[in-house]
Amino acid sequence: MVVDSEHDRYSPRLSIIDFGLSVFVEDEETMIEGYRGTRTWTAPEVGTSEYRDTKYSPILADRWACGQMVDYLEDQVGNGGVLEGDESWGMLRRLCEGLLDDNPRSRPSVSDVLERYGRYERDRMVKRRAGEDGCR
Protein backbone atom coordinates (compact mmCIF):
# COMPACT_ATOMS: atom_id res chain seq x y z
CA MET A 1 0.00 0.00 0.00
CA VAL A 2 1.21 3.47 -0.84
CA VAL A 3 -0.13 6.68 0.69
CA ASP A 4 0.41 9.74 -1.50
CA SER A 5 -0.04 12.86 0.62
CA GLU A 6 1.07 15.11 -2.25
CA HIS A 7 -2.11 14.25 -4.15
CA ASP A 8 -4.20 16.49 -1.92
CA ARG A 9 -2.81 18.34 1.10
CA TYR A 10 -5.75 17.48 3.31
CA SER A 11 -6.88 14.08 2.05
CA PRO A 12 -4.11 11.72 0.93
CA ARG A 13 -4.64 9.09 -1.77
CA LEU A 14 -4.20 5.44 -0.83
CA SER A 15 -3.08 2.98 -3.51
CA ILE A 16 -3.15 -0.77 -3.02
CA ILE A 17 -0.37 -2.59 -4.82
CA ASP A 18 -0.99 -6.29 -5.25
CA PHE A 19 1.77 -7.45 -7.59
CA GLY A 20 -0.37 -8.98 -10.32
CA LEU A 21 -3.38 -10.25 -8.36
CA SER A 22 -5.67 -7.41 -9.40
CA VAL A 23 -8.86 -7.57 -11.39
CA PHE A 24 -10.60 -4.59 -12.98
CA VAL A 25 -14.10 -3.93 -11.65
CA GLU A 26 -16.57 -1.14 -12.34
CA ASP A 27 -17.65 -0.45 -8.76
CA GLU A 28 -18.14 -1.98 -5.32
CA GLU A 29 -21.28 -3.80 -6.54
CA THR A 30 -19.20 -5.93 -8.93
CA MET A 31 -18.75 -9.43 -7.57
CA ILE A 32 -15.97 -11.86 -8.43
CA GLU A 33 -15.32 -15.46 -7.51
CA GLY A 34 -12.10 -17.20 -6.59
CA TYR A 35 -9.46 -16.73 -3.97
CA ARG A 36 -7.00 -13.89 -4.54
CA GLY A 37 -4.63 -12.61 -1.93
CA THR A 38 -2.24 -13.41 0.85
CA ARG A 39 -3.72 -15.16 3.88
CA THR A 40 -3.00 -12.47 6.49
CA TRP A 41 -4.22 -9.65 4.24
CA THR A 42 -7.34 -11.33 2.81
CA ALA A 43 -10.81 -10.31 3.98
CA PRO A 44 -12.92 -13.04 5.62
CA GLU A 45 -15.51 -13.07 2.81
CA VAL A 46 -12.86 -14.00 0.22
CA GLY A 47 -12.58 -17.49 1.68
CA THR A 48 -9.35 -19.45 1.84
CA SER A 49 -6.97 -20.97 -0.66
CA GLU A 50 -8.74 -24.31 0.02
CA TYR A 51 -12.31 -22.94 -0.16
CA ARG A 52 -12.57 -20.71 -3.25
CA ASP A 53 -16.25 -20.74 -4.26
CA THR A 54 -17.31 -17.54 -2.50
CA LYS A 55 -18.52 -14.51 -4.46
CA TYR A 56 -17.41 -11.16 -3.05
CA SER A 57 -16.73 -7.54 -3.90
CA PRO A 58 -12.98 -7.00 -4.34
CA ILE A 59 -13.38 -3.31 -3.48
CA LEU A 60 -15.02 -4.12 -0.14
CA ALA A 61 -12.37 -6.80 0.48
CA ASP A 62 -9.63 -4.22 -0.20
CA ARG A 63 -11.17 -1.96 2.45
CA TRP A 64 -10.67 -4.75 4.98
CA ALA A 65 -7.04 -5.12 3.84
CA CYS A 66 -6.52 -1.38 4.47
CA GLY A 67 -7.79 -1.78 8.03
CA GLN A 68 -5.51 -4.77 8.47
CA MET A 69 -2.56 -2.67 7.26
CA VAL A 70 -3.28 -0.02 9.89
CA ASP A 71 -3.33 -2.76 12.55
CA TYR A 72 -0.01 -4.07 11.26
CA LEU A 73 1.58 -0.61 11.25
CA GLU A 74 0.38 -0.02 14.79
CA ASP A 75 1.96 -3.30 15.89
CA GLN A 76 5.25 -2.59 14.10
CA VAL A 77 5.66 1.13 14.77
CA GLY A 78 3.89 1.10 18.11
CA ASN A 79 6.34 -1.30 19.73
CA GLY A 80 8.40 0.53 22.29
CA GLY A 81 5.75 3.19 22.86
CA VAL A 82 6.54 5.19 19.71
CA LEU A 83 2.84 5.90 19.16
CA GLU A 84 1.87 6.14 22.82
CA GLY A 85 -0.13 9.30 23.38
CA ASP A 86 -0.08 10.30 19.69
CA GLU A 87 -3.52 11.83 19.14
CA SER A 88 -3.31 11.70 15.35
CA TRP A 89 -2.50 8.02 15.30
CA GLY A 90 -5.25 7.27 17.80
CA MET A 91 -7.82 9.08 15.66
CA LEU A 92 -6.68 7.32 12.48
CA ARG A 93 -6.86 3.98 14.29
CA ARG A 94 -10.40 4.66 15.51
CA LEU A 95 -11.51 5.72 12.03
CA CYS A 96 -10.01 2.57 10.49
CA GLU A 97 -11.68 0.15 12.91
CA GLY A 98 -14.78 0.19 10.71
CA LEU A 99 -12.73 -1.12 7.80
CA LEU A 100 -12.35 -4.42 9.68
CA ASP A 101 -16.11 -4.92 10.09
CA ASP A 102 -17.07 -8.55 9.38
CA ASN A 103 -19.97 -7.27 7.27
CA PRO A 104 -18.40 -5.95 4.04
CA ARG A 105 -21.38 -3.62 3.40
CA SER A 106 -20.78 -1.90 6.75
CA ARG A 107 -17.19 -0.89 5.92
CA PRO A 108 -16.71 2.82 5.22
CA SER A 109 -15.00 3.86 2.02
CA VAL A 110 -11.29 4.55 2.38
CA SER A 111 -11.86 8.02 0.92
CA ASP A 112 -14.40 8.69 3.69
CA VAL A 113 -11.91 7.56 6.36
CA LEU A 114 -9.15 9.73 4.86
CA GLU A 115 -11.49 12.71 4.47
CA ARG A 116 -12.61 12.48 8.10
CA TYR A 117 -8.99 12.13 9.19
CA GLY A 118 -8.05 15.18 7.08
CA ARG A 119 -10.81 17.23 8.75
CA TYR A 120 -9.57 16.10 12.16
CA GLU A 121 -5.99 17.16 11.33
CA ARG A 122 -7.13 20.54 9.94
CA ASP A 123 -9.16 21.22 13.08
CA ARG A 124 -6.23 20.19 15.25
CA MET A 125 -3.88 22.47 13.31
CA VAL A 126 -6.28 25.42 13.66
CA LYS A 127 -6.54 24.86 17.43
CA ARG A 128 -2.77 24.57 17.73
CA ARG A 129 -2.23 27.81 15.81
CA ALA A 130 -4.87 29.57 17.88
CA GLY A 131 -3.04 28.45 21.02
CA GLU A 132 0.28 29.71 19.64
CA ASP A 133 -1.29 33.10 18.94
CA GLY A 134 -2.61 33.31 22.49
CA CYS A 135 -6.24 32.89 21.40
CA ARG A 136 -8.50 30.67 23.44
Report CA-CA distances (Å) from 130 to 20, 61, 87, 116. 48, 41, 18, 21
CA dist 60 and 32 (Å) reads 11
**pLDDT per position as a tens digit, 34-89:** 888 777 889 999 987 777 778 999 999 999 998 998 888 777 776 655 566 677 77
CA dist 43 and 63 (Å) reads 8
**pLDDT per position as a tens digit, 3-35:** 555 555 555 566 666 666 778 889 999 999 888
How many domains does the chain contain in total? 1
CA dist 74 and 81 (Å) reads 10
pTM for this prediction: 0.74
Domain span at 103: 2-132
